[in-house]
Amino acid sequence: MRVLVTGAAGQLGADLCRLLEVRMADPDSAVHAYAGLGRVELDIADPARVRAVIRDQARPAKVQGGLVVINAAAWTDVDAAEADESAAYAINAAGPAHLAAACAEVDAILVQVSTDYVFAGTANKPYETDDETGPAGAYGRTKLAGEEAVRALLPTSSYVVRTAWVYGQTGRNFVKTISRLARERGAVSVVDDQAGSPTWSADLAAGLLDLAAAQPPPGVYHCTNAGETTWFDFARVIMAEVGLDPQVVSPTTTAAFPRPAARPAYSVLSARSWLDVGLPPLRSWREALRAAFDAAGADLRG
């Protein structure tokens, strides 16, 4: 197959491209070619550009096992989405709709990456794929609109993959921020009333490529590293990984740090849908964090 990665300059997109290079070197891999395009090369909010690029990518894909588009492009600034929901909508909702329409024209498969923020975050057990959605803010609303557009326009050739708490080698993320603040301030306060599953973008990338190769029934899936924790406990484990005293992290509450956008109190996603179709489970979040520091420790230390 030929894989097109949108948002290739971002955290997940960069890891997808790194992994695609590795998989292409394997003679038994399902991947025969790939292209990674950032926003400069492909602004998914531009429908004419999307259609032209998908058509160009589909031509060589005819002899490369078909085209799979993995949409890693997204507006991820949760707080900024509250101030400019229309701009977030253009990337998170209209953009996936443009990709789905273009993929339908050339019989391509689309993998749309989504988020735990489509849920209200008030549950007390892991969210299943068919649980009721109810985003509490603009970011979640725009991502849910993107999911709905993809499923409506490309129902038999699309996958919506929700994930959560992603960190990686490229770009800004919680792991880098905590590492930096601990060095600069000597002490950090982190909320202990929000729970989720930290997910290494490299493991998520591997999961997405496994899904693209296996092509299980189309629909909605959840993919995160296994297990759950709080931001506070996650921060303490990060401190240990960078060789600092975890005790420099102290607990606080969400109410003590008001933000423009509401944060889900509970963001754990069930892997049942993923496992039921035989896709390989992702390792525990603690194992993944250790592996991430082994692979890209200098970058993660910020």
Active site residues per annotation: 139
Q: Would you state the structure tokens that stand for residue 151, as one six-digit string?
A: 């499923």
- Sign, CA dihedral 57-114-258-90, equals positive
As given in the structure block, the two tokens for residue 147 are: 């999911």
DSSP string computed for 32-83: -EEEEE-TTT--TT-HHHHHHHHHHHHHHHTTTT-EEEEE------HHHHHH
Q: Of 37, 113, 102, give the one whose Cα is nearest residue 70.
A: 113
Question: 2 near 56, Cβ under 8 Å?
Answer: no
d(CA 248, CA 186): 7
Residue with tokens 């909702």: 93
A 10 A CB-CB count for 138 gives 25
